[in-house]
Amino acid sequence: MATVLDQPPTEPQTSPPESSAEETAPVFINRGVVSNPLINKLKSTHTDKGVLIPLKTTQEVRQDHTVVQAWVTRAPTKCANDVIGALRDMKPDGAANPLPHLRRCAKPADLPPHFKTQFMNDSPEGRQIHTSKSTWIYIIIGETKNIDKEELLQTLGAVDGLEQDVFLTSIPVPLLAPTSQVQAAMWSMQFWPTVYRKNNPLGPHPSMVARSTDEIKSDASIWMALAYDVAAKAKQSGIGEAIGAVVVQRDPSGVQLVAVAGDARWHNDSPLNLPHNPMTHCALRAISMVAQKLVRHERRAAGFDMSFANLEYDAFQDAPLLDMEKVCFEQEHPNKDGYLCHGLELYMTHEPCISCSMGILHSRMGKVVFSNHMPRTGGLSSDDRPDDGGRGLGLFWRRELNWSLLAWEWERDGVPELPRLHPTTHV
């Protein structure tokens, strides 16, 4: 096995980024799929097939409806700036608007209907404010847990022009920003006038997801067809389960094949009798083949031969075994100065397991597409696991990790169904 450590190379232009594929990926005009004997026959029959469904992050799945209590007051419109200034002075170290997705000020007519009714009926002043041409405005202050009520009343009471009895109440509001215009409209009717800023605080930016989907949707089915082909051959040859992976590079010259790998967990028996060896899963085999191509180029450029250890037992099985793996492995890497799998795309027949998902992240892959969701063992999806199996990890996009990527599930179209895997199989 050619071992490549996850550390920056010595030359700065190839140093790995520490953020996300979203932030570093360039935008390319689709120049088409570069000719390759392994996929030329597939190009005419497997273009524009299937549907790409972007994965949701753990926060999108579970936390987009978190509701908290927030303080609300009201003031004459001419006093609004004085009130906001007093609130800012009260918390000088805090943000000017601690809930930026909610409008700081709202006219009585813009409130949700149930709040109009509630505020109108709570006092004679409220009825006057809501039944005539209003010169008053409502102001949202911040979460109740972060602001002491007595201190807040004292601050507001010192502002000239407010009611003798300062109006202060708490209402439920969404803690996080909406992820769509539709959701913002719903929240404006249910909670408080809400702003959609065309971003996604819970995951990758919507425009990035949409642009990347458009970028890969035409040829994704070609690479998935190739992954299905190598998966079937891995099963037929007996080296592993019917699982396959394909790695490609997308650059201004087009989309080029980099690596093909089938599962190899049954290729030879482990001396330790270890079943389901995760080191021989197709994703890790494909990543290693990419690394070996880069090492091969470096050694040749330095005048050294590419040599392999003669092992009685190879725990990694990362040498090409199938004919199509060998054909692809002999082809040169299209980006010989690349760093690991930075910015490359991985197409898999099945959702990778947790171990492989972390390997994909550490290799700095840019995009991942898989066809068959593995709800019990997959590592990329955020969906809750069946039968009280816990929550999906959604490893493709976790803020606590130093790398993130874009991921899709591909609805199968035009490729034969593979032999069914047991639900507990780790891919």
| Sequence spans of domains, the chain | 51-60+206-302+313-411, 68-191
Helix then strand then coil, % of the chain, to nearest 5: 35, 15, 50
pLDDT for the residue 12: 34
Element (H, E) at 227: helix 220-237
Amino acid in the structure at residue 153: L
| 266 close to 236: Cβ distance less than 8 angstroms | no
pLDDT for the residue 3: 39
What architecture does CATH give domain 51-60+206-302+313-411?
A: 3-Layer(aba) Sandwich (3.40)
Tokens at residue 313, please? 């037992």
- Phi, psi of 217, rounded to the nearest 5 degrees: -65, -30
Residues 6+ apart with CB under 8 A from 9: 15, 339
Which 3 state secondary structure label does DSSP give 194?
Answer: strand
- The sign one gets for the Cα dihedral 227, 230, 235, 240 is negative
Q: Counting Cβ atoms within 10 Å, is residue 314 exposed (0-12), middle (13-18) or buried (19+)? A: middle
Determine if residue 248 is left, alpha or beta; phi over 0 gives left, psi from -120 to 50 gives alpha, anything else beta: beta
Which 3 state secondary structure label does DSSP give 170?
Answer: strand
Crossing angle (nearest 10°) for helices 124-131 and 113-121: 130
Q: What is the pTM of this model?
A: 0.74
Q: How far, in whole angstroms, is CA 282 from its chain's centroid?
A: 22
pLDDT for the residue 64: 55
| 4 close to 299: Cβ distance less than 8 angstroms | no
Measured at the CA of 393, the angle between CA 391 and CA 398, to 5 degrees, comes to 135
**CB neighbourhood size of 98 (10 A):** 17
DSSP 8-state symbol, 197: -
Stretches in the chain below the pLDDT threshold 50: 1-17, 27-29
- Phi, psi of 93, rounded to the nearest 5 degrees: -90, -5
Tokens at residue 363, please? 């290799």
Amino acid in the structure at residue 335: N
d(CA 22, CA 396): 11
Tens digit of each residue's pLDDT (9 = 90 or more) over 226-253: 999 999 999 999 999 999 999 999 999 8
pLDDT for the residue 307: 76
d(CA 226, CA 41): 10
pLDDT for the residue 259: 98
